[in-house]
């Protein structure tokens, strides 16, 4: 079982819709969770991090964490074609300082 699991997609949503990206993790010692966006041929860039149960909002993005269910999600409201990218979920186990990545979900926003 991979430590961080994501559906590879592609996830296709129409422009203006809400995109919902999901991630599960297996190690209960993981304390911080991240969403990185990676455009094709580019390096990943951090868009959100969360370490407390509940929701965290930043503009059009909302990260959700449920530690009991070991589940992390990212909602993108009012999706734009420029949001089309691969979204990588990652987990950090405190004390080890290693960030473990999922395989990524490819999002396509259809104009």
Partner 1 sequence: DADVTQTPRNRITKTGKRIMLECSQTKGHDRMYWYRQDPGLGLRLIYYSFDVKDINKGEISDGYSVSRQAQAKFSLSLESAIPNQTALYFCATASSGADLTGELFFGEGSRLTVL
Tokens of 21: 């990206």
Q: Taking CB under 8 A as the rule, does residue 94 contact partner 1?
A: yes
The answer to whether residue 40 forms part of the interface with partner 1 (CB under 8 A) is no
Task: Based on the shown chain and the rule CB under 8 A, indicate whether residue 65 belongs to the binding site for partner 1.
Answer: no
- Residue of 20, 22, 32, 108 that binds partner 1 (CB under 8 A): 32
42 binds partner 1 (CB under 8 A): yes
Determine the interface stretch with partner 1 among 17-25, 32-40, 65-73, 76-84 (rule: CB under 8 A). 32-40
Q: Where would I find the beta strands (DSSP E) of 39-104?
A: 45-50, 54-58, 61-66, 71-76, 85-93, 98-101
Position 108 contacts partner 1 (CB under 8 A):
no
d(CA 106, CA 9): 5
User: What tokens appear for 51 in the block?
Assistant: 């370490």
Cα–Cα distance, 21 to 107 (Å, whole number): 9
Among 76, 88, 107, 109, binds partner 1 (CB under 8 A): 88
Nearest to 107 by CA among 79, 72, 68: 79
The contact set with partner 1 (CB under 8 A) reads 8, 31-32, 34, 36, 42-46, 49, 51, 88, 92, 94, 97-104
């Amino acid at each position: 079982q991979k430590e961080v699991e994501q559906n590879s997609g592609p996830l296709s949503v129409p422009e203006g819709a809400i995109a919902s990206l999901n991630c599960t993790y297996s190690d209960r010692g993981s304390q911080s969770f991240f969403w990185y966006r990676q455009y094709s041929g580019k390096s990943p860039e951090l868009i959100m991090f969360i370490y407390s149960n509940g929701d965290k909002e930043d503009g059009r993005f909302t990260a959700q964490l449920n530690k009991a269910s070991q589940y992390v999600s990212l909602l993108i409201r009012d999706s734009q074609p420029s949001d089309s990218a691969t979204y990588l979920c990652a987990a950090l186990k405190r004390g080890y300082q290693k960030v473990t990545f999922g395989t990524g979900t490819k999002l396509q926003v259809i104009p």
